[in-house]
Amino acid sequence: EPESNKGTYGKLLLICGSVGMGGAALMATQAALRCGAGLVKLATVEQNLFAAYPHFPEAVTIPLKAGEDGTISQTQIPRLLEEVKQASAVVLGCGLGQSPALEELLHQVLDTCTVPLLIDADGINLLAKHIEWLSECRAPVILTPHPGEMARLCGKTIAQIQQNREQTALDFGKQHSVVLVLKGHKTLVYDPAGWLWENTTGNPGMARGGSGDVLAGIIGSLLAQPGFTPGQAAGFGVYLHGLAGDLAAANKSQYAMLPTDLIDTLPEAFLSILS
């Protein structure tokens, strides 16, 4: 839009990272910055921010106090809830860790959030202990589990999940009225609007720690922008993530490519789609 400004394209808040897991927060933030959100905020423990500044000066950073275990302190919850109120979309979970304080944070975010909320990684592991909290959330929820996290959500084994991925995604998504991204070979996206979509992009070179953090940042950035429903943001985000992975593999090989290479090839992926 010719007369647009950064507010036109939404504000994304990422609540990610703990001491020793700053890379997850950094990759999610870098990916989000490449996917069109007008303003990207990263809320993470202050120890992570020393490494963050050289990588993305474009992001707003919110330094948080860590508890003794290196995760976000319970004292930071009120501040984070105020940040949630200002956001157009929220990503919670990448490298977050697990603690009673984080369980309380997740519960309060689910209880008060009114904008699309993507829960990934440790956020999913926290949610698996209290799946009933989903029914309390008024906002659209997007879950992005890999098979192990899906098994914890469902109380099944990974083998059971993998044997019937489509039915698992359908059943869970319908039961809890969430957008579900079941990651893996031919990632599945379930939308409560009534469709299940199988992705056609991506390759085994993406099976690296950090690829999921990149995906969370991509989808989160799309969620923050007007014009995307949560299901559309998830579906397009998964496709774009896989396409970036295919381009990275063509440039670096499946053996040598890294999740950060996906971020670097996002501009090329967008150009490919737009052309």
| Distance in angstroms (rounded) separating the CA atoms of residues 22 and 50 | 10
- Segment (H or E) for 39: strand 39-45
Element (H, E) at 119: strand 117-119
> Is pLDDT above 90 for 55?
no
In DSSP terms, which residues pair with 195 in a beta bridge?
A: 191
pLDDT higher than 90, residue 274: yes
Residue 241 lies in a domain: yes
What average pLDDT does range 24-32 have in this prediction?
Answer: 98
- Residue-wise pLDDT for 194-241, tens only, equals 999 999 999 999 999 999 999 999 999 999 999 999 999 999 999 999
Q: How is residue 72 annotated by DSSP? A: B
Q: Is 176 within the bounds of a domain?
A: yes
Does residue 80 lie within any of the structural domains? yes
- pTM comes to 0.98
Could you give the number of structural domains in the chain? 1
Question: Which among 218, 182, 264, 228 is positioned nearest to 94, based on CA atoms?
Answer: 218
Question: Collapsing DSSP states into helix, strand and coil, what is residue 125?
Answer: helix
Q: How confident is the model at residue 51 (pLDDT cuts 50, 70, 90)?
A: confident
Phi, psi of 196 (to 5 degrees): -125, 125
Q: Could you tell me if residue 1 is inside a domain?
A: no
CATH code where residue 231 lies: 3.40.1190.20
User: Where in the sequence is the domain holding 229, given as residue range(s)?
Assistant: 6-274
* Count of C-beta atoms within a 10 Å radius of residue 37: 23
Q: How confident is the model at residue 53 (pLDDT cuts 50, 70, 90)?
A: confident
